[in-house]
Structure 1
Amino acid sequence: MGDFNQAVILDSIRRSEAGLSRVELAGSAGLAAQTVSNICRRLLDTGLIMEAGKETSGPGKPRTILRLDPKGMFAVGVHIDPATTSFAIVDAIGTVLLAREIPTDLAGPPDAAVGAMGGIIRTLITESGVEQGRIAGVGVATPGPVDAASGAVVAPPHMPGWNRVFLRDILAEETGLPVVMDKDVTAAAVAELWTGTTGCASNFIYVYMGTGIGAGLVLGDEVVRGSSGNVGEIGHIITDPDGPECDCGRRGCVKVTCMPQTLLAEARSLGLLPPAESPNPVARPDELALLAQLAADGDEQATGILTRSAARMSGAVSALTNLLDVDQVVFGGPFWPALSEIYLAEVPGHLERYSVTNDVHSVSVVGTRVCTGEEAFGAACLVMEKTFGPSAGQLLLDPKPQR
């Protein structure tokens, strides 16, 4: 209970841009004033929060404002994509201090590639000048599926040979730091919560437009992960029964109608883009940006590819919004900027037609608040969530008490 209360206080302070006084914290958290005072004293002693001046409101003594101390804690983020792996060091208020990006090594043994990532993390920490004792951990965002219990990635698409690679253990050994691992779509949803304020939606679906497409889920301001940590695998939702055949044996799945690789292949077949350099190329955001530019310049075929993609994606997303009764759909990921103009124009209308809750509430469609190119920031937010985020799971007793 003590850990949960501390997380509630930290989360309340984090969400307030102006900071909060102890009196305001007691009111918002529903805790006794003495409990709040004890927690704040402990957080001040450890350097996680700081006193940021006084504020006068009405009669009585001025109230001391508390804010997160940017230098109180740091996190390292690692985002693994089939094309690139990105790294970032982030402070307690979400400022990216240092970032780096390398091509993902798919040619050599996966264990060796992950070990090399550990070396890059150590180098970044040294270059940043941050004391290792102030780094709370390393967050790793990876394509799914994952085995959350063992900290392994399990045969992700487009990453041949990466079957049961124990990312968490390898990086923990290489860096000497705690490691949190999660799916890239889940990390993106965590980052969306982390950058949001108390006024943002508490229930939303995050649609991640990366090399693959997945969905993260937030209900009641908490990220939902599912029984194995693999919530949001939407690649085989059918969006067009007459569409191309999928490797699952059915037709028109998200995987073969909406993924960037599919859109680029269609553009090449129409002569809109140069031929691919390899038989099964991994899609790149700059290529999709070229297709989007053609559409913006009035090319009807390019516009058709992206408009059909938006309509198909809307069908898949509407199945989720109707099932889960959320208030918002957030699109993001490395390929989102190229799709954003047409998707934001097309998807809201489709969802309104497909929604069964129009008479009760609308479902808004927005783009992510996290800057493109900062996917490693989302991975670092996994560490922030573990440190700052109050979770109802913290209140559960161990079902298997130690004897």
Structure 2
Amino acid sequence: MTEIRTPSPRRGTNLPRMGDFNLTVILDAIRRAPGGLSRVELAQIVGLSPQTISNISRRLLDQRLIVEAGKEGSGPGKPRTMLRLNPGGMYAVGVHLDPAVLTIVLLDLVGAVVQHARITTPSGAEPESIIAIIAAAIGQLIEDSGVDRTKVAGLGVASPGPIDLKEGAVVDPPLLPGWERVPLRDALAEATGLSTLLDKDVTSSAVAETWAGGPSGAGSFVFMYMGTGIGCGIVLNDEVIRGSSGNAGEIGHIIVGPDGPLCDCGQRGCVKSSAIPQALVARAEAAGVLVGARTDRSAPAVQENFAELCALAYGGNEAAMEIIRESAVLVGRAVSAVTNALDVDRVVFGGPFWSCLAPAYLEQIPALVQENSATRKIHGIEVVGTGVGEDVAAVGAACLVLEHTLAPRSQRLLLEG
């Protein structure tokens, strides 16, 4: 009989000059244990010596990143002191730049939202104007929260792709005219005075799931982002995969219906041209499901029209529901292609349009993915909604800061130079 093995926890290293990596390994282990861990349990989980565990725990306590949270134990022996994250030990700001709405959140160390704000993205506004709006909103958010600004570790920004990760620039995203190579990272860093990171919204969403999604954010999974566009974030063995330029997960041109609408890439039936909200709204208009003059094609208008389509679908309009169901089949085909390529255990759906799609998608897609899985005789593939919520990209943007500062990453083991 083949032995089934559960994924191994991250292992630390006792090699010299690896203190920072070991610190993040320990912090990550504590973070993943909601009830906390004792020093003895930490030594067993991460493979470090008791003395190393004791030294690093003291360092984390001094930095107020963890706290001693009572004693636990039964039977013979001394009760063990439990270590848990200190929610107020560090904070981070996250911004999601979406063509329809700007979302800003302030997170504590455990990934809980402390303060939240939303602003409709001004249609046709210059990037400089929108950046100024974001910067002002960030300052107001921190002030309203009452959090000591010195405890804010930085600012994370989630943007539609493609992005230039090295330069921190947004590179001509859909439905954001004028955003051609806009240096958003540096502009916001200068405007806010906060150390700033930029990543794609789909990748940020995957990061959010690993930090605040609970069981759905563990192991190997893809995050299917349902927003103005469609893309996926990739997590393999608890590590977020970004690709060589930071643009992994651009799945919009997977063909899901060869006879489908013509895409701007020149192919027919791409999931981008067939199943994003803009395409579904256009289909509903052509079928007479959405009636009335609809000349406004801006992202906020698409969001409003799509909400109307979903309300009709779940209100008993069969034609509207059929449009949603057909899109579920198309997206299910794209998901199957991705899961077969990456061999993951789970698909997590989320994003600003997910709440409208969830009932129909969760009814159809799990069976489609399982039926088309190349590994169905070896393991199943779970299909779930995000454990973070509608603001997953903004939460993920803030988690970028926490991940960059605190998460164990293989890059930390590379020697400088």
TM-score by length of 2: 0.92
Match of 2:109 in 1: 92
> How many angstroms does 1:106 deviate by?
4.5
* 1-structure distance, mates of 2:289, 2:64: 56
* 1-structure distance, mates of 2:217, 2:228: 27
* 1-structure distance, mates of 2:356, 2:259: 26
Of 307, 311, 330 in structure 1, the residue corresponding to residue 329 of structure 2 is: 311
Of 320, 340, 352 in structure 2, the residue corresponding to residue 322 of structure 1 is: 340
Of 112, 116, 124 in structure 1, the residue corresponding to residue 141 of structure 2 is: 124
* 1:68-126 deviation line (CA, Å, top 9, x unaligned): 11110000010110011111111111221111111223433313321331222122212
- 1:281 and 2:298 matched: yes
* 2-structure distance, mates of 1:10, 1:56: 22
Match of 2:10 in 1: none
**For the aligned residues, what is the CA RMSD?**
1.6
- 1:230 and 2:243 matched: no
* 2-structure distance, mates of 1:47, 1:12: 16
**Helix, strand or coil at the partner of 1:90:** strand
**Helix, strand or coil at the partner of 1:77:** strand
* 2-structure distance, mates of 1:27, 1:197: 22
Pairwise mapping of residues 16-35 of structure 1 onto structure 2 (< 5 A)?
16-35=33-52
Amino acid paired to 1:384: L
Worse overlay, 200-209 or 135-144: 200-209
Match of 1:171 in 2: 188
Of 37, 58, 83 in structure 2, the residue corresponding to residue 41 of structure 1 is: 58
Of 245, 267, 284 in structure 1, the residue corresponding to residue 262 of structure 2 is: 245
Question: Structure 2 regions of 5+ residues with no counterpart?
Answer: 1-17
Match of 1:195 in 2: 212
* 2-structure distance, mates of 1:284, 1:386: 34
Of 86, 103, 108 in structure 1, the residue corresponding to residue 125 of structure 2 is: 108
Do 1:82 and 1:158's aligned partners in 2 also have CA atoms closer than 8 Å?
yes
**Helix, strand or coil at the partner of 2:150:** helix
* 1-structure distance, mates of 2:328, 2:29: 37
Do 2:234 and 2:241's aligned partners in 1 also have CA atoms closer than 8 Å?
yes
Aligned residues: 399
> How many angstroms does 1:3 deviate by?
1.2
> How many angstroms does 1:270 deviate by?
1.7
Amino acid paired to 2:73: T
- Sort the Cα spacing of 1:378 and 1:274 in 2 relative to 1 into closer, same or farther, 3 A: farther
Worse overlay, 280-289 or 13-22: 280-289
- Sort the Cα spacing of 1:168 and 1:48 in 2 relative to 1 into closer, same or farther, 3 A: same
Do 2:127 and 2:178's aligned partners in 1 also have CA atoms closer than 8 Å?
yes
* 2-structure distance, mates of 1:201, 1:98: 26
Question: Structure 1 regions of 5+ residues with no counterpart?
Answer: none
Amino acid paired to 2:318: E
- Sort the Cα spacing of 1:162 and 1:117 in 2 relative to 1 into closer, same or farther, 3 A: same
> How many angstroms does 1:290 deviate by?
2.9
- 1:205 and 2:222 matched: yes
> How many angstroms does 1:199 deviate by?
7.8
Pairwise mapping of residues 280-359 of structure 1 onto structure 2 (< 5 A)?
280-282=297-299, 284-359=302-377
* 2-structure distance, mates of 1:329, 1:182: 21
Amino acid paired to 1:338: C
> How many angstroms does 1:198 deviate by?
6.2
- Sort the Cα spacing of 1:353 and 1:179 in 2 relative to 1 into closer, same or farther, 3 A: same
- 1:381 and 2:399 matched: yes
* 1:135-162 deviation line (CA, Å, top 9, x unaligned): 1110100100000001111010100100
* 1-structure distance, mates of 2:198, 2:43: 33
> How many angstroms does 1:22 deviate by?
1.0
Worse overlay, 55-64 or 125-134: 55-64
Amino acid paired to 1:292: C
- Sort the Cα spacing of 1:247 and 1:172 in 2 relative to 1 into closer, same or farther, 3 A: same
Q: Percent identity?
A: 54
